[in-house]
Amino acid sequence: MQFHIVFPVFSIVTSQVGHIAKESDMDQDNNVGQPSNPLHARWFYVSFVGTGLSLISAACFATEDLIIYAVSKRYTPTFILVWNAIVAFSLCSISLLFIRPRWGPEDGRQALLTLAYGTCNCITQLTLTLAIIIIGPGNGSALFFTAPVFSVLLSAVILGHRPSVSVIVFAVCSCGGVALISLSLEEDLGDDIQSDLQRWLPPSFGVVFGITSAVSFASGIIVTKILTNQYETAHPLINLMSYYVQLLVTTLCLCTVFDDWTLPDTVGSGVMLSGIGLMTFGGMMVLFIALTWLNPTTVSIILALEVPLIFLGQFFLFGFRFNWQTISGFILITASAVGILLSEELTEDDGDQENHHQEEINHLEKDAAGEKQPMLGQSD
């Protein structure tokens, strides 16, 4: 019953937010040359709302990681994943029923790219969950935030984008942060919650899973860039459905292979397990709405606050102890991610300015040629 109440309202809010954002852009275009106070007020309002939505999204993702670690003592990773997939898939299906986006693959390539997007994010969820359980939510999420480094590398290889010197420096700093976190894992995690997976696998496996999640997520970013740049019919909900369907099928198969079929033994456990899927889907949807208010670079930088939120949560909830290696590694990775995002934004702005200047030069040359032709006609 609650689903039928919540999601119609949610779909209306989503459409209204997009409508308000578009009206804001149109108003700004129409008010060029008028007094700037209304524009500044509107800019502040848009920035305030966009920042708030981005913070909510970061809080959702941080809560998801903390819940995964909390329930890992009582439930296996496959069961946690399948429960997450069922809840998120159900929420996404209901959203599709109410929002009903117009989508149809323009060609087979778009369908394959949509499938590839889901596969990349499915691998990300599987490996990140394992990393969180093995080395803790803070360390796993910090390693995940090396994704901008791999995104730049994959852009250079696949899309032909040459990284700048500053991006290369930030990438090296990020690798240093990974090394520091890896060294810190040789010491005791300082937590009284120990899952079977932590006892079976050494921390080095958690590092590998964390970096793998970053690589697969970066691959998903490249696929998203290709989809959004080349296909107008690409829709976030369809991409999410591709992801959740693959995650659900994969986790169901894993549960069947490892015979992990069970049910939550308490109401509290059921709420926590359901909360993982709710935070996953809710964080993604709020993130999509935030992107209608702010540019992707600003939103990505705000999302980096997820890592300190997780560190604070695991300190107060699980009693984690921190050493200088963990803190230094976290700072290096987060600062590098922000630096790479800002460098890429500046590079894109410089490219836009160069294109604008080139267009002006071409326009002036055409005007000069047009004036020269009548003069030649008069001389004849």
| Three-state secondary-structure class, residue 372 | helix
Q: What tokens appear for 289 in the block? A: 């709405």
3-state secondary structure 168-237: HHHHHHHHHHHHHHHHHCCCCCCCCCCCHHHHHCCHHHHHHHHHHHHHHHHHHHHHHHHHHHHCCCCCHH
The DSSP-derived string for 21-71 is HHHHHHHHHHTTTS-SHHHHHHHHHHHHHHHHHHHHHHHHHHHHHHHHHHH
List the chain pLDDT tens, one digit each, 380 residues.
333 323 333 333 333 334 444 444 444 444 444 444 566 667 677 778 888 888 899 899 999 999 998 888 888 888 888 888 999 899 989 988 888 887 777 778 888 999 999 999 999 999 999 998 888 888 888 888 888 778 878 878 887 777 777 777 877 887 787 777 766 665 544 444 456 666 777 888 888 999 999 999 888 888 888 887 888 777 888 888 999 999 999 999 988 887 777 778 888 888 999 999 899 888 888 887 887 787 776 777 778 788 888 888 888 888 777 777 778 887 887 788 777 767 766 665 554 454 545 555 555 555 555 555 554 445 44
Q: What tokens appear for 223 in the block? A: 């696929």
What is the DSSP secondary structure assignment for residue 157, as one 8-state letter?
I
Would you state the pLDDT for residue 12? 32
The secondary element (H helix, E strand) that includes residue 260 is: none
| Identity of residue 252 | L
What is the DSSP secondary structure assignment for residue 106, as one 8-state letter?
S
| Three-state secondary-structure class, residue 105 | coil
121 Cβ contact partners less than 8 Å away, ≥ 6 residues apart: 216, 217, 220, 243, 247
Distance separating alpha carbons of residues 353 and 348, to the nearest angstrom:
9
Would you state the pLDDT for residue 22? 42
Q: Among 178, 162, 159, which Cα is nearest to 219's?
A: 159
Q: Among 220, 205, 199, which Cα is nearest to 155's?
A: 220
Q: What tokens appear for 192 in the block? A: 């009284």
List, for residues 345-369, the tens digit of each pLDDT value: 666 555 445 454 555 555 555 555 5
Cβ atoms of 10 and 94 closer than 8 Å: no
Would you state the pLDDT for residue 275? 92
Region of 100 please: left (phi>0), alpha (psi -120 to 50) or beta.
left
Would you state the pLDDT for residue 127? 94
The structure's pTM equals: 0.71
Would you state the pLDDT for residue 211? 92
| Three-state secondary-structure class, residue 318 | helix
What is the DSSP secondary structure assignment for residue 158, as one 8-state letter?
I
Using CA atoms, how far residue 228 sits from 65, 302, 339, in Å, is 28, 22, 24
| Three-state secondary-structure class, residue 160 | coil
